[in-house]
Structures are given as structure tokens and as C-alpha cells.
Amino acid sequence: MGVPLDKASFLALFLQTLFYGVFFTLYWLTLFVLFKKTGIQQQLLIPVATLLLCIATAHLVIDFVRGLEAFVFKVNTIGADVYYSNLASPLDLASKALYITQTTLADGVVVWRCHVLNHRSRFVAIPGCIVLLVNAATGYYVVWALSRAYELSNLSTAASGCITTFYTLTMFVSVTCTISIAWRIYHTRRFMPGGLAALLPVFIVVIESGALYATSVLALLISFLVGSNGEYILLGVIPPIVGITFCLIILQVHFHVGGNSLTEQSPELGGIITSLFRGRSTQDRNFTMQRMAVHITEETEIDQSDMMSGKSSQPVSGGVFQL
């Protein structure tokens, strides 16, 4: 038996309030961390985090007002179930528009992270921006279509297809960028010793790079396709989840969550993760090149010293295979 619409909406409001409290707490922790940073960390990350919080706050306020109207002010006139069935309600349309804005902003951050990690490649940025623009246009078209459909049964086939497309593109962007980030870090880590322990940083990055967000969108898509009212629960929960995911990534980088293997055992891997928020994508390559230059210099000095003294070259401890 499916969940009734009024109960699903009430549960969505409860869970949204719960997740918003988590997001609000993490936001202030993140703000405290970012105020100590400089450069892009203050110029970009603080405004994005603040904007995510403002959108999530506005979304929660609108849903709270709708809950008061459905369960308090209009409960004896039209009822909560009929109230939430009106898709053309101005408050419902505003809530949907804020949801689309929040998810589009989150997808933009994910694409930017993938772009930075892949050495600012245009092959990542251009397709990502195109998908974001198409997805945003599709989402706002859905809002316009909902303004003309007073009930879910009156929703046109084109609007239903656009809703499916929006959810699918959102999940596609999140999953694709997450897999790309995980593969980039695994590719750097796979030649280092450690066995199965080398996979631990990969799993950490996958989880904190949007796995929670991607799973929520997948559940939202499935619930819409099967016609479940659980869709409304996820529509209320996802906006704060977007902010939670964003803040967790920054806090993980700052506090080095996941063990010393991220920074001490693998400086290259730590440099890659940190470069996501420092704007540097070649730190690991530059570090390797500098070490190689030292080796070449040492070998040249040894060869020249042997030639001048007329001695044959001897094995030197700490040669090319060291460090």
C-alpha cells in the first residue's frame, strides 16, 4: 500500500527539518574553517556555501508555510490531501523552482571539481556546462508546465518526460563526475604499495564526492517512475543533503578525515584531493618532476667526480631507485 500524499508531505517536512539542522551546523563549521583560508577558498566556496544555505532555508520556510495551511488553516475546508494535490499552487511552484536551482548549483560544483581534478580540461568543462544548461532549462520548463496542471493526473506527457529527463541528467552528472574523480585518484594510487588499503582513500572520495546525493536522486527517479508519493519526501530532503555533501567535502580536506594515508603515506593523493579546493591540479606532477631533477643532478655530479679522479664508477647507495 502506498503512502498517502498528506502523510508523505508531512514526513517530508519532518525529515527536511532534521537534515536542515545538520546542514546548518556543518555550514557554520565550514564557515569557521574557510575564514582562515585565502584565495579561491574564500572567493568561491564561501559564497557557494552561503547560497546553498539560503536556498535550503527558503525551501524549508515555504514547505513549513504549506504545512501550516494544509494541516491547520485549511484542514476543515479542502483538507491536506486536496491541498497538496494542487500542483499549480504558487507556493508549490516556488518550492519546485528552488529545488531546481539548488540541484543545478550542486551539479555545477560537481562539474567544477571534476574539471579542476582533470587539469582544467575543456573536454570536461564544455560538455558539463552544456548538460547543466539543458538540465536547468528542462527543470524550469517543468515548473511552467506544472503551473498549468492543477492535478497530477492532468500533467501532460511532455511534462512527465521532462521530469524524467531532469532527474536522469542530474543523476548522470553526479555519477559521471564522481566516477571520474574516483578513477583519477585510483590511477594515481594504484602503483603504490599497500594492497587493499590503497583503495580506502578511493572509497572516502566516492562517498564524500556525491554518492549520498546521487543515491537520493536515484531514489527520487525510481519513486517518480513507479508513481509513488515517496517522491515528495525526497523532494524535501534533497536540498539540505546538497549542502551537507558540500560541507563534508571541505571539512574532510581540512581535518584529513580518513586517516594519515591521505596525506602522509601518499603525498600525491593528498595533493590531488587538496587541489580540488586550492585551484591546483598539477601539484602531484610537479612534485614528481622536482624529485627526478634532484636524482639527475646527483648522478651527474658523481659521474663527473669519477671521471676527474680516474676511478671507475661504484654503486652508490641512495640512487635513482631511492626516494
Residue 313 lies in a domain: no
Note whether 169 and 108 are within 8 A (CB): no
Let me know: does 212 contact 187? Beta carbons within 8 Å: no
Higher confidence at residue 233 or residue 149?
Answer: 233
Confidence class for position 155, pLDDT limits 50, 70, 90? low
CATH number of the domain enclosing 53: 1.20.1070
Cα(236)–Cα(63) distance, integer angstroms: 8
Length of the chain: 323
Domain count, the chain: 1
- Please state, as a whole number, how many other Cβ atoms lie within 10 Å of the Cβ of residue 120: 13
Task: Residue 75: give the domain boundaries.
Answer: 5-283
For 169-192, the pLDDT digits (tens) are 998 888 888 788 777 777 766 655
- The percent of residues in the chain predicted with pLDDT above 90, rounded, is 24
Rounded (10°) CA dihedral 166, 172, 178, 180: -140
The pLDDT of residue 66: 92
Q: What pLDDT is attached to residue 272?
A: 47
Would you say residue 310 lies in a domain?
A: no
- The per-residue pLDDT for 154 is 60
pLDDT(200) > 70: no
* Residue 323 maps to a domain: no
- Look at residue 184 and tell me if it is in a domain: yes
Q: Considering the domain boundaries, does residue 59 fall inside one?
A: yes
Highest average pLDDT, of 96-110, 146-160, 192-206, comes from 96-110
Which helix (H) or strand (E) segment holds residue 44: the answer is none
Q: What is the DSSP letter of 196?
A: G
pLDDT digits (tens, 9 = 90+) for 33-59: 888 877 766 678 889 999 999 999 999
pLDDT per position as a tens digit, 64-86: 999 998 888 887 788 788 888 88
CA distances from 316 to 68, 83, 292, 319 (A): 79, 82, 16, 6
| pLDDT band at 161; cut points 50, 70, 90 | confident
**How buried is 238 (Cβ within 10 angstroms: 0-12 exposed, 13-18 middle, 19+ buried)?**
buried
Cβ density class 242-254: b for 16+ within 10 Å, e for less: bbbbbbbbbebbb
> What pLDDT is attached to residue 176?
87
- Tell whether 319 is covered by a domain: no
Task: Determine the pLDDT at residue 18.
Answer: 95
Cβ(102)–Cβ(49) below 8 Å: no
Q: Is 146 contained in some domain?
A: yes
Highest mean pLDDT among 153-167, 233-247, 272-286: 233-247
For residue 276, being part of any structural domain is answered with yes
